[in-house]
């Protein structure tokens, strides 16, 4: 009877490398400038060709951004907390987005 034993060790997320000898920064450290479209309220964001949905949509109740948010775009930064979640941060506030499989907008805003 033959037996096979497989032994190994792996590196966790903290040990990802982007190039040999260099440790990639944690996802949280990768904030990028981002202009969030706010004209019809804050519910969807187009990120990397896919539409992401806000965990807690924001509006003024009439389909516009809430008071204090710029219209039609709010400047800020986008930080990927993992492959399926992104955090938009600006002077007006913070919104957490979850990735969807949508490649087209869920509705057309005029």
Mean pLDDT, residues 80-85: 96
Question: What's the whole-model pTM score?
Answer: 0.73
Share of the chain above pLDDT 90, in %: 65
Note the pLDDT of residue 11.
Answer: 45
Instruction: Tell me how far apart the alpha carbons of residues 107 and 25 are, in angstroms, rounded to a whole number.
Output: 36
Please tell me the distance from the alpha carbon of residue 16 to that of residue 33, in angstroms, as a whole number. 24
Tokens describing residue 67:
């008071």
Please state the domain extents for the chain.
36-98
pLDDT per position as a tens digit, 12-31: 444 444 455 665 555 556 89
Query: What is the rounded CA–CA span in Å between residue 56 and residue 49?
Result: 21
Tokens 């008071």 found at: 67
Of the listed ranges 5-9, 41-45, 52-56, the least confidently predicted one is 5-9
């Amino acid at each position: 009877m033959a037996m096979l034993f497989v032994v190994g060790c792996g590196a966790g997320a903290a040990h990802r490398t982007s190039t040999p000898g260099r440790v990639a920064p944690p996802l949280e450290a990768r904030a990028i400038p981002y202009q969030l479209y706010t004209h019809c309220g804050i519910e969807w964001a187009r990120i990397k060709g896919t539409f992401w949905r806000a965990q807690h949509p924001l509006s003024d109740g009439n389909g516009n951004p809430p008071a204090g948010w710029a219209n039609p775009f709010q400047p800020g930064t986008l930080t990927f907390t993992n492959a399926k979640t992104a955090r938009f941060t600006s002077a007006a506030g913070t919104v957490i987005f979850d990735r969807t499989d949508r490649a087209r907008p869920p509705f057309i805003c005029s």
